Amino acid sequence: MQEKSKIWLSSPHMGGTEQDFVNQAFETNWVAPLGPNVNGFEEDLQKYIGEEKKVACLVSGTAALHLGLIQLGVGYGDEVLCQSFTFSASANPILYQGATPVFIDSEASTWNICPIALEEAIKDRIQKGKKPKAIIAVHLYGMPYLVDEVHEIANTYKIPILEDAAEALGSTYKGRNCGTFGTFAALSFNGNKIITTSGGGSLVCPDKKTKEKTVFLATQARDDAPHYQHSHVGYNYRMSNIVAGIGRGQMQILNKHVDLRRKMHAFYTDAFQNITGVEVLSAPTEDFYANHWLSSITVDPNQTKGLTREDLRIAFLEENIESRPLWKPMHLQPIFEKYPYYGKQVCEQLFKNGLCLPSGSNLTDNDRNRILSVIYRFFKKQ
């Protein structure tokens, strides 16, 4: 029997014009970490998210978070509040700076940083003698966090927010684009994100001056002199003009891909509608417009006669369909478990019962039928 083709969680999906931009780079010999595609991609991103922001393209979303923290003045011994329920790349740059992460639980409606736990942590850290230097809030799976509530707390205590919008390009909150709420924000164009440049990211900066500073730091912090002169620590974080060419092509189909991912979410909402014990992460109100980068569910074994998300994951795997447990919270990771954590077990529970499902914009009707047949067969056991 022929092996069934693999259905991926989220795979690259080219629109068609990417190679033209890459070829242009070769034809004009702009094979360097600067050039017309880098400038063009930055302009495209600015036009998309809002022209009041200035975008600096970098080698990765992780590099963007790192340069964001540096510019928020985070240094050795400082504390940074960080959503625990996220990918490790949100938290690693805190350690790069020799600072201490303080992890915060999620709330159940968006799965993102909980304003109550956040405020409790801020008060407690201040009482313990140190006011946190920054807050890292994440729009996980493309679902905007509780922007109003979280920013109100940040404003009250005058702590800047570094917004991790790596998964949320194309998502909006009250009509405004994710990536424009924080003092700085990070975007990612890694291979599995909603648009990809194979690898890449950008830092969304509040103004021209901070963008210039970002580019300066990302290109080895060279002072203005004919020789190589340095008075700051520099980084080699600038995006290549080849990679940026892919990004320019991807920007042309971003909105189409957001629509297709949202259709995948609607497909799952429909598929699980009559299955007790399964919840699909969905916008809590009309203020939240998610790109649904990954459609994600929780499976409560108390309501499914004992069937768990792990059973479901294996059922998919047997049909060569990829699915994956939700992010394992940072405060449970060996590298981060010694750091403080404030919360009430919301993200622990999500990790225990949650699963990400195939969500790519390039899935076919045939793929959807294979997914559906696993779901129906699996829950028939109920």
Provide Rg for the chain, Cα atoms: 21
Smaller CB separation from ligand PLP, 42 or 164: 164
Which stretch in 11-19, 56-64, 150-158, 230-238 sits in contact with ligand PLP by CB under 6 A?
56-64
Tokens for 12, please give them.
Answer: 């690259």
Q: Is 58 a binder of ligand PLP (CB under 6 A)?
A: no
Among residues 49, 80, 82, 89, the one that binds ligand PLP under rule CB under 6 A: 89
Q: Is 82 a binder of ligand PLP (CB under 6 A)?
A: no
Closest listed residue to residue 74, CA positions, set 43, 99, 93, 41: 99
Among residues 33, 35, 61, 132, the one that binds ligand PLP under rule CB under 6 A: 61
Smaller CB separation from ligand PLP, 64 or 363: 64
Residue pair 226/242 in contact (Cβ under 8 Å)? The answer is no
Active site residue 193: yes
Phi/psi region, residue 304 (left: phi>0; alpha: psi -120 to 50; beta: rest), is alpha
Among residues 71, 97, 171, 190, the one that binds ligand PLP under rule CB under 6 A: 190
**In the complex, minimum distance from the CB of residue 90 to ligand PLP, in angstroms, rounded to a whole number:** 5
Q: Is 167 a binder of ligand PLP (CB under 6 A)?
A: yes
The site for ligand PLP, by CB under 6 A, has a size of 14
**In the complex, minimum distance from the CB of residue 61 to ligand PLP, in angstroms, rounded to a whole number:** 3
Q: Report the b/e string of 351-376 with b at 16+ CB within 10 A.
A: bbbbbbbbbbbebeeebbebbeebbe
Which stretch in 70-78, 117-125, 163-171, 255-263 sits in contact with ligand PLP by CB under 6 A?
163-171
- Interface mask toward ligand PLP for 113-142; x: CB under 6 A: -------------------------x----
Q: Is 55 a binder of ligand PLP (CB under 6 A)?
A: no
**In the complex, minimum distance from the CB of residue 377 to ligand PLP, in angstroms, rounded to a whole number:** 31
Which residue do the tokens 């989220």 mark? 10
**In the complex, minimum distance from the CB of residue 198 to ligand PLP, in angstroms, rounded to a whole number:** 10
Identify the active-site residue in 193, 211, 213, 328.
193
Smaller CB separation from ligand PLP, 10 or 241: 10
Q: Is 87 a binder of ligand PLP (CB under 6 A)?
A: yes
Q: Is 250 a binder of ligand PLP (CB under 6 A)?
A: no
Q: Is 60 a binder of ligand PLP (CB under 6 A)?
A: yes
Region 200-229 residues binding ligand PLP, contact defined as CB under 6 A: 201
Q: Is 291 a binder of ligand PLP (CB under 6 A)?
A: no
Among residues 44, 163, 164, 348, the one that binds ligand PLP under rule CB under 6 A: 164
CA distance 206 to 203: 10
Q: Is 90 a binder of ligand PLP (CB under 6 A)?
A: yes
Q: Contact residues for ligand PLP (CB under 6 A)?
A: 60-62, 86-87, 89-90, 138, 164, 166-167, 188, 190, 201
Active site residues: 193
